Amino acid sequence: MSLDLRIEVSNLSKIYGKFKAVDNISFNIEGSGATAYLGQNGAGKTTTFKMMTGLIRPSSGNVKIGGYDIVTERKRILSNIGALIETPEPYAALTVRDSIMLVGELKGMKKSDIEDHIENFGKRVEIPDPSRKVGTLSRGQRARVVFAAAFLNNPPIIFLDEPTNGMDPAERKIIRDVILEWKKDHMIMLSSHLLQEVTDTCENVIFINRGKLVLQEKTRDLESRFKSKSIRVTFKDNVSIDDVRKMLSGLVDRVEDDASNSFIIYFDGDLDRRADILEYCQRVGRVISFSDYGSSLEEAFVNIIKDNQ
């Protein structure tokens, strides 16, 4: 059985005592591609992922994956999805091969098919020697092992909860390239605090704050509404923040220290205003760097959280 590429979340809640970890959220996702599920720490992202993958039961509401209910048809769904939730730790005493074998066997896969996955997909994500014990691996290497396990049996729908957590930039690029390749004919839902990673891989974003859904939108549309409104300027000579603030008074919202002779300037995002800022900065001293500070998605994240406090 292969699942339709469809996720339906309806009035989903998870309550612990008086605390609502997830509060009556609803959203639908259809078709191949990648969707980012974003929010601050404690917003309810991992709790939502756990309910969508059958790890915990909802307090109310329901989730359908590929048209099947996660509570009543959990086994059918779990054998056809991939999931990496809350950075699972493989058993230190097992080898890399045995760790992936264990997950494949739980999915009901043939041993030969699991071996093929270790050989082929393992090379794709550059897992360590399959005979090595997991306990000897670095954090990033372990993360690549569990990432490889999440893709066993070519699942049509994949949930990735901060998949690059603990990885260095080279490792993150490997994972990013896999997501870009697989999303062409699979559905991927991921959470991440690395917003540039989201910008690079996801067409859609869903924001959650304090357990409540606050936004679902195309990434490009969201970025267009939140142009970069901050600039990092660096001077060659010694310049004080007071000099910069005095020169830009009335032109920008505020100026903050960044590093030696480097400042972050916050303004309204207008392109003409940007040119004026550069001109006035050059009157303060010799400018050696003048560039956007933070991505448009970062601006969106900060503003959406601020508006929903």
Structure tokens at 149: 């396990």
pLDDT-based confidence at residue 128 (cuts at 50, 70, 90): very high
Which residue bears the tokens 């009335």?
Answer: 250
231 vs 251: CA distance, rounded Å: 13
Give, for 188, the enclosing helix (H) or strand (E).
strand 187-191
The reported pTM is: 0.79
What pLDDT, on the 0 to 100 scale, is given for residue 303?
Answer: 74
Looking at the chain, the domain(s) classified CATH 3.40.50.300 span: 6-219
CATH ID of 6-219, from 3.40.50.2300, 1.10.760.10, 3.40.50.300, 3.40.1350.10: 3.40.50.300
Looking at the chain, the domain(s) classified CATH 3.30.70.100 span: 229-293
Quickly count: other Cβ atoms within 10 Å of residue 181's Cβ: 11
Structure tokens at 236: 């060659």
119 vs 65: CA distance, rounded Å: 29
67 vs 86: CA distance, rounded Å: 25
Q: Write the CATH number of the domain with boundaries 229-293.
A: 3.30.70.100
Residue-wise pLDDT tens digits, 221-275:
887 776 667 899 999 989 999 999 999 999 999 999 988 899 999 887 777 788 9
Residue-wise pLDDT tens digits, 141-153:
999 999 999 999 9
Give, for 199, the enclosing helix (H) or strand (E).
helix 195-201
| Residues β-bridged to residue 27 | 9
What pLDDT, on the 0 to 100 scale, is given for residue 309?
Answer: 66
Instruction: Calculate the average pLDDT of the chain.
Output: 92
Q: In terms of DSSP bridges, do strands 212-218 and 254-259 run parallel, antiparallel, or are they unpaired? A: unpaired
Q: Which of 77-86, 201-210, 259-268, 299-308 has the lowest mean pLDDT?
A: 299-308
Q: Which of 73-82, 142-151, 163-172, 265-274 has the lowest mean pLDDT?
A: 265-274
